[in-house]
Structure 1
Amino acid sequence: MASTSITEAGLVMQDAERAPTTEELKARDDAIRRREAMLRIAVPVIVVGGLLLLWEAVVRINQIPHYILPAPSLIFTTLIENWDTLSAALWFTVKLTLLALAAAIVGGVLLAVAFALFKWVEIGLFPIAVILQVTPIIAIAPLILIYVSSTTAALLLCAWIVAFFPILSNTVIGLKSADSNLRDLFTLYKASPWQTFRYLLVPSALPYFMAGLKIAGGLSLIGAVVAEFTAGTAGRETGLASRILESSFRTEIPMMFAALFLVSLLGIVIFLVFAGLSRAALGHWHESEMKRDG
C-alpha cells in the first residue's frame, strides 16, 4: 500500500511538472492570435493575387485588345504614368467624401438625439428623412444641380443625402435600446436627464452609431461618385468619376480601370479605418468587438 501511494504521488508530481504555466498559456494564446492575424491578411492577399494572375493570363493567352479588357499590368502602368492627374482627382473625391460624411455625422447625431428626447420632433421629421433615403439620388441630383449654384456644393449635398440616413437611423435605434431595468435604476437613484443621457443612452447607442458609420462611409463615397456622374463635370477640380467619364468618351479603357481601381481602393480604406475605429472604441467592453478565444 505504501509503495502504491508513493507511485501515485510520483505520477501526480510528474503531471504537475508537465502542466503549462500561466506564462506558457499566455504565450501560446498570443501565438495563436498572431497566426490568425497573419492568416486574415495572407489569405485575402493570396486570393486577390491569384485572381489578378488569372486575369493577366486570360488577357495574354486570348490576346484580348486593351480597349476591350486591359491586363492588370497595363492598368498599373497607366496608373503610374497618369498619377498626377489621377492623384488630383483622388484628392478631390476624398475631400468631398469626408466633408459629406462629417456633415452626415453632425446632422444625423443631433437629429437622432432630438428624436430620442422629443417625440413630436420624431413624428414630424422622420417621414422626411425616410423620403430622402428611399428617393434614388440619381433622380434628384439633376434638380439639386439646377437649384444650387455651386457645383461642388451640389455634389456635397448629394453625397450628404446618401450618407445621412444610416447615421440617423442607427443612432436613434441605439438611443432607444437602453435596457429598461437600467433606466429604472437611474430613475430610482434620481439621476438627472443629462446623467441618464451621458452614462446610459450614449454607451447604449455607441455600437449602433459605429455600425452606421461603417455603412455611411461607403455610401458617402458612392453618393459623391454618382453625383459627379450625374453632373458630368470636367476640368481640374473634379474627382475620379469625371476621370472615368472622360476615359469612356475617349475609349481609354486602361485609364478608366485605373480610376475605378482608385475608387475601390478608397472605399476599402474607408471601411478599414472605421472598422479599426469601432474596434478601438468598443473592443474593451462590447461583445460585438471583444476578442474571443477558440
Structure 2
Amino acid sequence: MKRHLTTLLSTVILFMLLLLLWGALIRLLHIPSYLLPSPVQVGTAALHRFPSLMISLGMTATAAAGGLIASIVVGVLVALVFAQSRWVRRMFYPYTILLQTVPIVAIAPLILMWIGPGIFSVGLVAFIICLAPIIANTTQGLIGVDRNLIDLFLMNNASRAQILLKLRLPHALPSLFTGIRISSGIAVIGAITGELFAGSARVGVGGIGYAIQYANSQLETDYLFALVAAATVLGFAFFFAVMFLEWYFLHNWHESARTAEME
C-alpha cells in the first residue's frame, strides 16, 4: 500500500510541476490565450461548460465502451476459429491485419454514408479500430500452448473441447488482456474519430469529437483544451479499468500478475 501511495504522490507532484511550467512559459513568452490558454483558463472553461462537457464525455464513453466490448466478443470468437484450423488461419488471418493498415479516417465517412450519423456509427468505428489487436493477441495465446501440455491432455483422453476450454483458453488469457489493453486506449481515439465525421444525430448534442469541432469553429481554445483533457482522462480510465480486471482474473494463478505485484 505504501508503494502505491508513493507512486500516486509522485505522479500528482509531477503533474502539478508540469502545470506550473505551462503557466510560466505562457507568461515568459507572452503567448496569447487564443493560441495557448493557461491552465487556469482551461479549468475555468471546463467549470463553465461542465454540464455540456459531461454530456459529451458520457456519449463518447458509451460509444467507445460499446465498440470495445463488441470487439472483445467478436475478436475472441474469431480467434477461437483461427486456433482450431491452420488452414482457416492462413486464409483469413491476413485480413485482420488489413483492419490495422486501412486508415480509420478513410472508413469513417463510408460508415456515415451507409448507416447515418449517431452513436451506433461512432461505436462501429471504435469496434473496427479495436478488433485487430484482440484477434491477433488472442490467436497467438491460443496457438502458443506448449506441445508437451497438449500431448499430456491427449494421453488422458481429453476431447478437443476440453483442450480448448481447460488448456488453450486459460493459457490465452494474458494475451487476451494484452490485446484489450491496447484496444482500450485506441477505442477512445476511434470514437472521437467517428464523431468528427459522423457528428451527432441531434443538432447541438454530441460527443467529444463533435464538441471539438464546435469549439474549434468558435475559436474557444480554452474549452478545446478542456475537451482534450477530458478525452485523455477517459483513455486513462479505460486503461486502468482493464488493468484492474487483468489483476482480478490473473493474480491468483498467473506468474505475470504476481511478478507485477512484486515489482
Which interval holds the TM-score relative to the shorter structure?
over 0.9
Q: Give the alignment's TM-score, normalised by structure 2.
A: 0.93
Shift of 1:232: 4.6
Name the counterpart of 2:221: 253
Task: State the distance in 2 between where 1:58 and 1:115 align.
Answer: 54
Of 204, 207, 215 in structure 1, the residue corresponding to residue 171 of structure 2 is: 204
Shift of 1:170: 0.5
Post-superposition Cα deviations, 1:59-118, rounded to whole Å, max 9, x if no partner, equal: 234443221111111111111110111111111001000100111011000011011113
Q: 1:70 and 2:34 equivalent?
A: no
**1:114-263 equivalences in 2 (<5 Å):** 114-233=81-200, 235-263=203-231
Cα RMSD of the aligned pairs, angstroms, is 1.7
Q: 1:280 and 2:248 equivalent?
A: yes
Name the counterpart of 1:41: 8
Shift of 1:146: 1.3
Task: State the distance in 2 between where 1:141 and 1:243 align.
Answer: 17
**1:90-105 equivalences in 2 (<5 Å):** 90-105=57-72
Q: 1:228 touches 1:241 (CA, 8 Å); kept in 2?
A: yes
Q: 2:117 touches 2:199 (CA, 8 Å); kept in 1?
A: no
Task: State the distance in 1 between where 2:230 and 2:153 align.
Answer: 50
Q: 1:92 touches 1:237 (CA, 8 Å); kept in 2?
A: no
Name the counterpart of 1:112: 79
Gapped runs of 5+ residues in structure 2?
A: none
Q: 1:267 and 2:258 equivalent?
A: no
Q: 2:122 touches 2:194 (CA, 8 Å); kept in 1?
A: yes
Task: State the distance in 1 between where 2:56 and 2:9 align.
Answer: 31
Shift of 1:46: 1.0
Q: Counterpart amino acid of 1:69?
A: L
Shift of 1:128: 2.2
251-260 or 128-137, which deviates more: 128-137
Q: Give the alignment's TM-score, normalised by structure 1.
A: 0.84
Task: State the distance in 1 between where 2:128 and 2:242 align.
Answer: 20
With CA pairs under 8 Å and 6+ residues apart, which has the higher RCO, 1 or 2? 2
Aligned length, in residue pairs? 261
Q: Counterpart amino acid of 1:71?
A: S
Gapped runs of 5+ residues in structure 1?
A: 1-33
Q: 2:116 touches 2:198 (CA, 8 Å); kept in 1?
A: no
Q: 2:129 touches 2:190 (CA, 8 Å); kept in 1?
A: yes
Task: State the distance in 1 between where 2:119 and 2:173 align.
Answer: 32
Post-superposition Cα deviations, 1:225-268, rounded to whole Å, max 9, x if no partner, equal: 11222335473441001111111111100010011110000001
